[in-house]
């Protein structure tokens, strides 16, 4: 990128043809041509430049989706970015593109529970074996590698427990054994971490979250390097996993303020974390404690932190934890995160998946907070009044 991240987001993709700041929404199932010769000419261009936005059918996209892909490719500093109807669609596309029956994949234990279900249960029916590794002990990763291992799938930080891993070491192991790598980078986005530049083959972001920023659109992105581009392109065309133009438009519009919003999420989360860190019942799952492994691993690879954090609450009274969450007035209750508003969830064990390496006693409870763009003093006051219910 010749311009800074912030400037690029404000000035890219202006449409001088239609004299609009944002590109128009182009909806099309049929891509129309002047003649058969015109179709063949376009198809030849697509063969020569498969990332150039040359389409002959609407399932492949329109100018609206192509513009979003170009923006994200710049942000990710990748070879190309594919867009999907949901964030989980990008997870599926990454794995489906590079694995086949008889293969094995190694997955971080604290992955998003649907990712765990896909890899552990669904892929098993297609004779693809999944092995989970301990994010805090990468020997469990390297010791699981066999000649059949095709992919190492990382989620960083870990879902709900926010384990930060040594990404450089994971990449070193993968390179040594010539294994492909993918990472779910939804928490950090390429604003705080650029996985392809770091050495990953594929990087996933749920565009539903911070890219959109307004909790009103679903989408996903899969950034790739040259090595896996052809495999992913073929899989994308076969599966039809393509983002629609209306969602692409909303995500493009949301990206204009990605940096402003993430800076504010980070600022607010830091203040909320400082307040929560003083409570003896709570272990904060967020990179704030400078002498912790999580902080060191976060600091080594990330330029900042987003607004999503976990709380490990020690209480013999489970109902009091629920009452604490239910007493929050400025935090909404709902799945997803990354929008402008604050959210809270009491995490049931079933929602974390049946993990092999999660150490959680019967008196420890997980609560997830997404710190939004409200006044942080108001959020802290809200948390303070709700904490009185903890016993």
In this structure, of 54-68, 105-119, 318-332, the range with the lowest mean pLDDT score is: 54-68
In a domain, 89, yes or no: no
pLDDT(349) > 70 = no
In a domain, 18, yes or no: no
pLDDT(8) > 80 = yes
- 16 token code pair: 């001088």
**pTM score, two decimals?**
0.94
In a domain, 269, yes or no: yes
- 225 token code pair: 């390097």
Q: By residue range, what is the domain housing residue 380?
A: 258-387
d(CA 233, CA 224): 10
In a domain, 220, yes or no: no
In a domain, 205, yes or no: no
pLDDT tens by residue, 295-304: 999 999 999 9
289, with CB counted inside 10 A (0-12, 13-18, 19+), is middle
- CATH code of the domain covering residue 312: 3.90.1150.10
| Residue 23 DSSP class | P
Strand 308-314 relative to strand 202-206: parallel, antiparallel, unpaired? unpaired
pLDDT(1) > 60 = no
In a domain, 72, yes or no: no
Q: Are 257 and 184 in contact (CB under 8 A)?
A: no
Count of alpha carbons within 13 Å of 56, Cβ hemisphere only? 16
Looking at per-residue pLDDT, the higher value among 10 and 308 belongs to 308
In a domain, 223, yes or no: no
Report the number of distinct structural domains present in the chain. 1
pLDDT tens by residue, 261-294: 999 999 999 999 999 999 999 999 999 888 788 9
In a domain, 303, yes or no: yes
Give residue 289's pLDDT. Answer: 80
């Amino acid at each position: 990128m010749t311009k800074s991240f912030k400037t690029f987001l404000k000035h890219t993709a202006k449409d001088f043809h239609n004299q609009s700041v944002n590109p128009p929404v182009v909806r099309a199932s049929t891509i129309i041509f002047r003649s058969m010769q015109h179709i063949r000419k376009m198809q030849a261009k697509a063969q020569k430049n498969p990332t150039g936005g040359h389409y002959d059918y609407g399932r492949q996209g329109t100018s609206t989706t192509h513009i979003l892909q170009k923006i994200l490719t710049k942000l990710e500093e990748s070879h190309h970015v594919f867009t999907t109807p949901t964030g989980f669609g990008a997870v599926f596309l990454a794995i489906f593109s590079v694995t086949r029956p008889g293969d094995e994949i190694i997955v971080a234990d604290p992955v998003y529970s649907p990712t765990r279900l896909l890899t552990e249960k669904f892929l098993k029916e297609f004779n693809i074996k999944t092995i989970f590794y301990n994010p805090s002990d990468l020997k469990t990763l390297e010791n699981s590698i066999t000649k059949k291992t095709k992919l190492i799938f990382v989620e960083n930080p870990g879902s709900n427990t926010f384990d930060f891993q040594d990404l450089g070491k994971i990449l070193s192991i993968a390179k040594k054994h010539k294994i492909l790598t993918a990472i779910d980078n939804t928490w950090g986005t390429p604003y705080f971490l650029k996985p392809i530049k770091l050495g990953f083959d594929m990087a996933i972001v749920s565009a539903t979250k911070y890219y959109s920023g307004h909790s009103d659109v679903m989408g996903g992105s899969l950034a790739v390097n040259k090595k896996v581009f052809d495999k992913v392109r073929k899989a994308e065309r076969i599966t039809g996993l393509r983002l629609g133009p209306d969602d692409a438009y909303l995500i493009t519009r949301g990206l204009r303020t990605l940096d402003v919003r993430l800076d504010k999420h980070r600022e607010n989360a830091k203040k909320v974390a400082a307040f929560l860190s003083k409570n003896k019942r709570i272990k904060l799952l967020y990179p704030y404690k400078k002498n912790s492994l999580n902080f060191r691993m976060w600091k080594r690879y990330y330029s900042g932190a987003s607004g999503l954090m976990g709380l490990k609450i020690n209480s013999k009274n489970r109902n009091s934890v629920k009452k604490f969450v239910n007493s929050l007035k400025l935090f909404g209750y709902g799945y997803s995160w990354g929008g402008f508003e604050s959210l809270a969830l009491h995490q049931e064990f079933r929602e974390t998946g049946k993990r092999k390496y999660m150490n959680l006693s019967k008196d420890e409870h997980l609560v997830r907070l997404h710190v939004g763009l409200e006044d942080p003093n108001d959020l802290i006051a809200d948390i303070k009044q709700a904490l009185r219910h903890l016993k």
